[in-house]
Amino acid sequence: MATLLRVTVFGVSVVGVFDGGRRRNRNPLGPTEAEVRANLAGEASADAALALHELESSITPAEPAADETAVPRDLTAAAFFDVDNTMVQGASIVHFARGLAARKYLNTADLVDFAWKQVKFRVTGKESSTDVASGREKALSFIRGRSTAELARLGEEIYDEIIADKIWPGTRALAQMHLDAGQQVWLVTATPVELAQVIAKRLGLTGALGTVAESENGLFTGRLVGDILHGLGKAHAVRTLAIREGLNLKRCTAYSDSHNDVPMLSLCGTAVAINPDSDLRELAKNRGWEIRDFRTARKAAKVGVPTALVLGAAGGALAAVITRRKVPIAS
């Protein structure tokens, strides 16, 4: 039985229908349970993104009268950027975990587990369903009972400490190009919407579509609305937001590094592969999509990718442990 669900994100209430991920009909030709969860995740993400954007607009001081030389707003075009390895070097959730470990929210084993799963993903280019499920359970276990305000505060602190230095300058310049053209620019990520919104705000972007966790009275329940925003979920979130904002998807541009984001990339009139994995690079070449690679010494990295990734992840884990031991925790 479907139930009405109220989710609060940054103090903004979002209402939707939740059916526990069960199939809505028994028609064997109908959507699968995974598709239903992906659609629900996309709709919840669009609801939260627009609510947060409206909230930010309401508290931002009114701008002075428009300059005659200012670029007019392009109301039907927008850009959608994946985050991990597209806008941010590495995985934002791993950077976040490092910050949490430094604050003794996570232990070393949890941090290494996060990092190792990212290593496997970057080496193979594919996500294990077991790893995704395990990561989801760990994340939900961590936030259960915590306040949404606390996660937002931690996101701001960790962005300033770690993530700000991980932004790809080339990708940031592409986002600015769209902003300068008067277009909306949205992040689209599996990262929790609270953290995604912090990244978008710090970069001066329109907003963020991210994974939405259920909350009641400002506290996380430990359940997701639908599922992690991923694959088909991202595409559904972008489509839903486009409908509500009156965007023409044929005039929109999508950016990503991962073959998993092909549904989102295919949805927009222009697709750009940023620092692409091998599968996306091949597909982009076949479809004539533009490819931008901001990584240095890419040819040399091809030979030692697994080793480099392992060392990088391990180095991040060790750095967090050292920080945790040597740096006093601020009160």
The residues carrying an active-site annotation are 82, 84
Contact 193, 214 (CB under 8 A): no
**Please, what is the Cα angle at 265 between 261 and 266, to 5 degrees?**
115
- Measured in degrees and rounded to the nearest 5, phi and psi for residue 221 equal -85, -20
Beta carbons within 8 Å of 203's beta carbon, 6+ residues apart = 87, 167, 172, 175
Q: How far apart are CA 299 and CA 212, in angstroms?
A: 38
Helix (H) or strand (E) holding 77: none
Beta carbons within 8 Å of 115's beta carbon, 6+ residues apart = 94, 97, 313, 314, 316, 317
Amino acid 149 reads A
How many beta carbons lie within 10 A of that of residue 155, not counting itself?
24
How many beta carbons lie within 10 A of that of residue 302, not counting itself?
9
Q: Residue 253: name the closest of 185, 330, 161, 163 by CA.
A: 185
**Cα-trace Rg, the chain:** 20
Q: How far apart are CA 136 and CA 236, in angstroms?
A: 20
Amino acid 226 reads G
Q: Which residue has the tokens 């400002």?
A: 218
Q: Which residue has the tokens 């969860």?
A: 37
Instruction: Provide the token pair at 186.
Output: 């949205």
Contact 252, 78 (CB under 8 A): yes
